[in-house]
Homo-oligomer: A and B are copies of this chain.
């Protein structure tokens, strides 16, 4: 059964298979469906969280901070963005499962969800 395109990395569907399949041109091998629509939607949602330069910079800053956590006040200035905008980006990444949010006192500290980026990377390069 190696004709299925799904290869699991942390119980999620991989983008590329190790793959050999057989189908002549213009006679698509219907029945395996490649990446399921629902799985594609879920994966795309996570990549969408990475598809903005400011969010990538936020991830970079958060990951390189002392305790690998950052409060909003540290982000607004270096990014040149307003505080509401930064909060908005953070929320998107929390909802995408990339960042954790911990509120201590008046501050909100954000940190990388361990393994989140790795699991996304595994989706792109199943073996490496």
Contact = CB atoms under 8 A, between A and B. Distances in A.
Interface of A: 5, 15-17, 19-26, 28, 30, 32-35, 37, 40-41, 43-44, 47-48, 50-57, 59-61, 63-66, 71, 73-74, 77-78, 107, 112, 117-118, 120-125, 128
Given A16-B112, A25-B74, A128-B118, A52 B63 contact: no
Nearest to A55: B44
A21 B65 contact: yes
B120 A19 contact: no
Contact of A15 (B28, B52, B74, B117): B117
B124 A16 contact: no
A59 to B, nearest CB: 6
A4 to B, nearest CB: 9
Nearest to A75: B28
